[in-house]
Amino acid sequence: MPGLFGHEFSGVVAEKGKGARKFKIGDPVMGVHSAPCLKCAYCRRGLGNLCEHIMTTKVLGAFAEYILIPRHIVAQNLFKSRSISVLMRLLFWSHLPVLFMGWTR
């Protein structure tokens, strides 16, 4: 299925929505593109990995210069990093297993 590129992301908070208190502008952050709804039957039973709505509320397009992260993803799967240099190191290390697997085959 065609779609925007990028799902796991890192960057710096450029703007905040109304009522956003968890992060401030300029904070280095990292996160993933989805979060369970916490309302469906699976989520209420603690089975967020089976959430009925997780695929309809995901955010793709992390290769863009800016990306809007919905409130429920910010609350569950957006994390503050210590610095931009830490984000850059994580970016490098996260790709090594993929490179290694391709190299060894």
**36-69: pLDDT as tens digits:** 999 999 999 999 999 999 988 888 888 888 989 9
One DSSP character per residue, 46-69 reads T-GGG-TTTTTS----TTSS--PP
Structure confidence by residue, pLDDT tens digits, 7-40: 778 889 999 988 888 999 999 998 888 999 999 9
DSSP class of 5: S
pLDDT of residue 64: 84
pLDDT at 100: 73
Across the chain, mean pLDDT equals 84
Distance, in Å, from the CA atom of 99 to the CA atom of 92, rounded to the nearest integer, reads 11
